[in-house]
Structure 1
Amino acid sequence: MRKIIHIDMDAFYASVEQRDFPAYRGKPLVVGGPPDTRGVVATASYEARQYGIHSAMPCSRAVKLCPHALFVFPRFDAYKAVSNSIRQIFSRYTDMIEPLSLDEAYLDVTTDKQGIGSAIEIARQIKDAIRTELQLTASAGVSINKFVAKIASDMDKPDGLTFIGPSRVERFMEQLPVEKFFGVGKVTAAKMRQLQLFTGADIKRMAEMDLVRLFGKSGRFYYRIVRGIDDRAVQPERELKSLAVEDTFHKDLDQLSAMENELDKIAAKLAGRLTNRKLKGRTVTLKIKFSDFRTVTRSHSLPYYTDAFDEIIATVHQSLQVVVAEDRMPIRLLGIAMSNFDRVNLASSQLKLF
């Protein structure tokens, strides 16, 4: 039986800002840019969350909820440096570390370097080290699989430590609201409610074939996870699937020339990142979000691998012209992604999240 820990930093970006700048401490802080921009909240401090502010909320909405909140731009270099220090703490106990983002990761401590043996004690020591060495807090979930450990880490935030032992897992899953299940978004949750499926116990009463018929491949996952079955291993190296750059504009763009100028800037950033990571891809994807929040993507696969700005921009300009000719709605966001990488060189160019 595996011993899995999920570590999730508490309000990570905002906590780093409050640590580094004493004037921000104890005040509602929003990381994500000025409130008069088209940006969104990256992270809100717990003081700001008391007003209903949360991640991915438009900054314009956040300032209405809390007019006296402080807004600051993200400092990603600082967050990456702290994240690297957190990773070093993890590595004292195990090399089986699967980063999910800068502020959370899975750890498999079934066999730990220090021979401690107790996943709960390891999680406690990691939390203590993060607090003592980095002056930050983290929440931890401990269980026998990734799914339950991740849910557990969110149960007692901030600075929590929740253990769901083997004998409790199935009962825990029965009581879990369906909205907490992996892959259950607003649409799927609404469909489940229409079917009178409100908790794991409701799902557990259904036959596997019925769940698959209703929810496709996810139905098989629901059938297994509600019984506490999650065989996914902690994977220290996650294969990079794509690399993307996008930008949301302060004012909607309604002229093709302005759109192409912004795409040039985005493509230059993407080409630079590809070159820095020694990555070349074949599939270029243009992302467009209109002023009415509709999003469209257009992908084009080249017959060769590239990281060249000229080749990327020629591809997305062509796609943009087609989309704009079909839909004259102003544009609020543009993005470019490269995928389908050269697998020969990919192994030595994995994206390091810590």
Structure 2
Amino acid sequence: MNQAPYIVDRNSKCRAASSQSSSACNLDGGGSGWRQFCCCVSLPTTTTETPATTGAASSTTTTEEGGGNNDPHIQSLKGAHYTLLKGGNFLAWSFSKGPVDWRLLASYSGSSSRFTPQSLLLLDHSGQTMEFTAEKCEWQAHSEDEWRHVRAGSLLSTDGSNWDVQEVNKRTQDPLSMESVIFLNMDEAGGPRKVARLLVHCSPQEHLNFKVSVFEKNDMDHVGGELGAVPDANKSLHLSFLSAKLGSMVTKMDTEFEVPGTWLMLGGSEAAAAYLTSKTVDEGIGASLLSTSCSDVQEQEAEKICAKHLQKEGHHAEIFTDCVFDVCHGGGEQDAQSAAAFISA
């Protein structure tokens, strides 16, 4: 419990009272002189793995999070952290339990665009489909042989589940990033239950970051895909792309999660398929990044840029290392800004 007093302001926000802020809180706007006090309490939760640029779910029962973090850095729901150095279509996340069978596919660019996530495809076994691309940073749903824009407040239902669209294209603190939020719910005897939250941050024409939060520990056994990966004990995967002081990075090709077929064959739109064609040209697996190293001067400059927006130590230390890697290999300060915005989402 944090130190009292705390007050509730007119927007029902709990904030600390100080000499510069009024502690008065007139209930219902009346002038009765009543004051409402509260204390901010950290509610008990299970252990949370928080990924880099890809925010915590707003629920006291959140258990795990994972996502494609600011370029091709994967933080799985089960603690694996690695960098994907391969373009193509991959099974990013899946959930199969009871009446639901969901799959989230992600398309990554080629090495010329630093293997960044460019498009998502959310699929239900009943045929319900939603698509998101970095070209326009917006969700579309497929129904009756056509694609239509999805608005905030939409509820897409099917047998046994529904997808509740909470936010669409909400502008974040980073003016080049748009945020979207979807809750995935499963029907049960007592009514719909929140299973997961899908958060997407998108920079138009650049790339997107995504994160999935699963709310109940018991559901973790039913999660698959990249975000269901466990830490790999194979030490040979640790490649020293960075200096000794920053550590090494784990890289993977995710062959086991690669999905055969074109984006169109997988259920995507023709427009998205055309956009991805321009982004997935690959000059060889990991070619440009694997052959490029950073000098000490470049690394020091990258550290300075990332330190403006991210903490070097602590819970997000791996994200800081990812940021240095990205800036050293063709990125810029926007990568650090994007990572910071996604952490706080």
With the length of structure 2 as denominator, give the TM-score of the two structures.
Answer: 0.25
Structure with the bigger percentage of strand: 2
**Structure with more of its chain in helix, by fraction:** 1
Name the structure, 1 or 2, with higher relative contact order (CA <8 Å, separation 6+): 2
In terms of Rg, which structure is larger? 1
Using the size of structure 1 for normalisation, the TM-score is: 0.25
